[in-house]
Amino acid sequence: MIRYLARRAGHGLLMLFGVSILMFLLFQTAPGDFLSEMKLNSQISPETMASLRVQYGLDQSLPIRYWQWAKSSARGDFGYSFFYNAPAASLLWPRARNTLLLTVPALLISWLIAVPLGVLVAGWKGKWADRLFSGGTSALLALPDVLIALLALLIALKTGIFPVGGMSSVNAQDQGWWAWLRDMGWHMLLPVAALVVGSLAIILRHVRASVCEVLESSYMRAAEGHGLPRFKLLFRYALPAAANPLISLFGLSVAVLLSVSLLIEVVMSWPGIGPLLLEAILARDLFLVIGAVMLSTVFLIAGNLLGDVLLYAFDPRIRRQA
């Protein structure tokens, strides 16, 4: 088990290394850099420009810049943001926390809804309730995430009950931690709901499909033939047998939620990684972009690692091979 995890974590590190190299290369080939816009300003002399280039290290060759960045990463700074004049890490951590604040509840809620519902719907296969759900999930799947976010904003605007974006009210922190927490929860509600709606349909369909497949199997018929109660059949016999592909999907759904989250954060002005990444890309803030991308990669790897651990814990057959 330890060796299995260590191997997986090793793969993760390799992947981080690869992503960082790729990011440097991509930025190198993209036209312009952080100082390109200043060049247009005739008030700044070429000498100043040159000294700025040296200051930011933009005059160095790619391998040297990568080496500098790697050293800085080892210190925990992950390079320096040109735009904010601060280590990239100090900007990224609070943003990452905010993004997790959206994605973790959204992940848990969508799975907690999708698994029991999916199993029940699979149990009703072919009946009208099943068809209704299939229709509903198809409609949800067809809805683009942006539209969901905009709809959520529309609801907030029309009803006036929900805050229209942001993470907290202006004076929230003055009224004690309980009020502050409630205020933040209230702000979280719509973005989390948008995320759940965006990811629920696909998970639900997968749960239904894999439970349906298991229900057709001969061991389920055998269990039914032994007179086991229906609830037990569905949840304690079919679900564990169907869990394998779902656990892999769980790891992947972290990635999907993360990318949807970036979008929703921008639309609903949630101060997560999304808006930061957007600004950084527009400003060609090299290290901040790389830092944000690396952070997303870490989340993705962590999600998949979690999936692997769960798979190991759930499936006795995998335990034997590992």
- Closer residue to another protein, CB minimum distance, 119 or 243: 243
Q: Is the dihedral of CA 267, 270, 274, 279 positive or negative?
A: positive
- Closer residue to another protein, CB minimum distance, 275 or 307: 307
- Closer residue to another protein, CB minimum distance, 75 or 226: 226
- Closer residue to another protein, CB minimum distance, 67 or 219: 219
* Minimum CB distance to another protein, residue 122 (Å): 13
In the structure encoding, which two tokens stand for residue 106, read together?
């959204």
Q: How far is C-alpha 255 from the geometric centre of its chain's CA atoms? A: 5
Give CA–CA dist 150/128, Å, rounded.
31
R_g of the chain, CA atoms, integer Å: 24
In the structure encoding, which two tokens stand for residue 23, read together?
């990011």
- Closer residue to another protein, CB minimum distance, 127 or 182: 127
Give CA–CA dist 136/296, Å, rounded.
31
- Closer residue to another protein, CB minimum distance, 11 or 125: 125
Give CA–CA dist 262/99, Å, rounded.
8
- Closer residue to another protein, CB minimum distance, 182 or 319: 319
In the structure encoding, which two tokens stand for residue 295, read together?
């952070």
DSSP at 160? -
Nearest to 92 by CA among 254, 297, 302: 297
- Closer residue to another protein, CB minimum distance, 5 or 151: 5
Q: Are strands 80-81 and 86-87 parallel, antiparallel or unpaired?
A: antiparallel
Give CA–CA dist 319/305, Å, rounded.
15
| Residue numbers at the binding site for another protein (CB under 8 A) | 1, 126, 217-230, 232, 236-237, 240-241, 243-244, 314-317, 319-320, 322
* Minimum CB distance to another protein, residue 317 (Å): 6
- Check: CB of residue 95 under 8 Å from CB of residue 272: yes
Give CA–CA dist 178/293, Å, rounded.
34
* Minimum CB distance to another protein, residue 110 (Å): 24
In the structure encoding, which two tokens stand for residue 68, read together?
């500098």
80 forms bridges with which residues in the sheet?
87
* Minimum CB distance to another protein, residue 236 (Å): 8
- Tally of CB atoms within 10 A around 18: 11
